[in-house]
């Protein structure tokens, strides 16, 4: 059985310590009390340490939104896996916003996945097709390629530890989520299919795969009823107090 996981990707919001702590202090104990679903907050780097401290008494997980693959070096503005290890447990890698605006490639995502696992960080690897690819019927081929590239060179044990987030680009921040049935099909056939090709069926069944893109408290339950969907990567709705309700509804399915 795969334990579902709901992660809140704050993106470039709540980056000031006072506003991040004000928010976390209002949700932490309720969020902590929810059973049966892993819950993770992924705030900006500037508040990671403060949020880590605020959730220390809880079982809430903490993640970063990106990192470099090298342990240290002359990389101005970058954050290394060594800096994150011990501070948080997860790291989002290959988010489409970073692929589009920060030169993230399949190759750099793969390097980062290796580096994360080497430092006991669980990668949340984002994949997703854009609208043109979707409409041209290229989703299966494109996502399959992203998954194979991200996981290239891992051992079976390492692959099983990864989390994948299926985030179609046209669903991010648009209010137009994929249908739960479509998300279920892409995750089951395409993503687990690609994992199974390289790492075998048991690994494909072990990997947790989230859906992301306009998930909110109203539609989360429909996604959670889908057998292939193991939770959600939530953007905008993770910045509101009713993120707690979203996670409660996810847990009650
Ligand atoms: P929204 O939930 O705001 O659509 O963002 C999804 C996302 O990109 C999470 O990583």
Ligand 1 within 6 A of 128 CB? no
Mean pLDDT estimate for the chain: 98
Tell me: pLDDT of 85 over 90.
yes
Domain locations in the chain? 5-252
- The model's pTM is 0.98
Q: Whose CA is nearest to atom 7 of ligand 1?
A: 235
Q: What is the mean pLDDT of residues 89-110?
A: 98
Residue 183 Cβ < 6 Å to ligand 1: no
Q: How far is the centre of ligand 1, averaged over its atoms, from the C-alpha of 239 (Å)?
A: 11
pLDDT score of 38:
98
| Interval between CA 125 and ligand 1 midpoint (Å) | 14
**For residue 42, what is the enclosing H or E element?**
strand 38-42
CA distance 27 to 40: 12
Q: Which CATH class is domain 5-252?
A: alpha beta
Residue 99's CB is within 10 A of a number of other CB atoms, namely: 19
Burial of 75 (0-12, 13-18, 19+ CB in 10 A): exposed
What's the mean pLDDT in 75-91? Answer: 97
173 lines ligand 1 (CB under 6 A): yes
Residue minimizing CA distance to atom 9 of ligand 1: 235
User: How far does residue 171's CA lie from ligand 1's centre (Å)?
Assistant: 8
In short, whether 213's Cβ falls inside 6 Å of ligand 1 is yes
Q: What per-residue confidence (pLDDT) applies to 1? A: 85
207 CA from centroid of ligand 1 (Å) = 21
In degrees rounded to 5, what are phi and psi of residue 196? -60, -35
For 27-73, what is each residue's pLDDT tens digit? 999 999 999 999 999 999 999 999 999 999 999 999 999 999 999 99
**pLDDT per residue as tens digits for the range 224-248:** 999 999 999 999 999 999 999 999 9
Q: pLDDT above 90 covers what percent of the chain?
A: 100
pLDDT for residue 158:
98
């Amino acid at each position: 059985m795969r334990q579902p996981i709901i992660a809140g990707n704050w993106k470039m919001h709540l980056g000031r310590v006072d506003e991040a702590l004000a928010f976390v202090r209002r949700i932490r104990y309720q969020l902590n009390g929810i059973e049966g679903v892993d819950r993770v907050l992924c705030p900006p780097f500037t508040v990671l340490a403060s949020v880590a401290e605020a959730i220390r008494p809880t079982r809430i997980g903490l993640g970063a939104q990106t990192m470099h693959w090298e342990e240290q070096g002359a990389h101005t503005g970058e954050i290394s896996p060594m800096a994150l290890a011990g501070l948080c447990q997860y790291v989002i890698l290959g988010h489409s916003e970073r692929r589009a605006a920060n030169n993230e490639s399949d190759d750099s995502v793969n390097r980062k996945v290796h580096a994360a696992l080497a430092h006991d960080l669980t990668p949340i690897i984002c994949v997703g097709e854009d609208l043109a690819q979707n409409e041209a019927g290229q989703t299966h081929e494109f996502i399959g390629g992203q998954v194979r590239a991200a996981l290239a060179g891992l051992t079976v044990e390492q692959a099983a530890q990864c989390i994948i987030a299926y985030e179609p680009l046209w669903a991010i921040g648009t209010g137009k989520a994929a249908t739960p049935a479509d998300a279920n099909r892409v995750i089951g056939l395409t993503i687990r299919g690609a994992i199974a090709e390289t790492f075998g069926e048991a690994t494909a069944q072990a990997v947790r795969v989230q859906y992301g893109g306009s998930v909110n408290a109203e539609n989360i339950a429909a996604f959670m009823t889908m057998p292939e969907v193991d939770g959600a990567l939530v953007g905008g709705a993770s910045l509101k107090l009713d993120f707690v309700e979203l996670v409660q509804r996810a847990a009650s399915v």
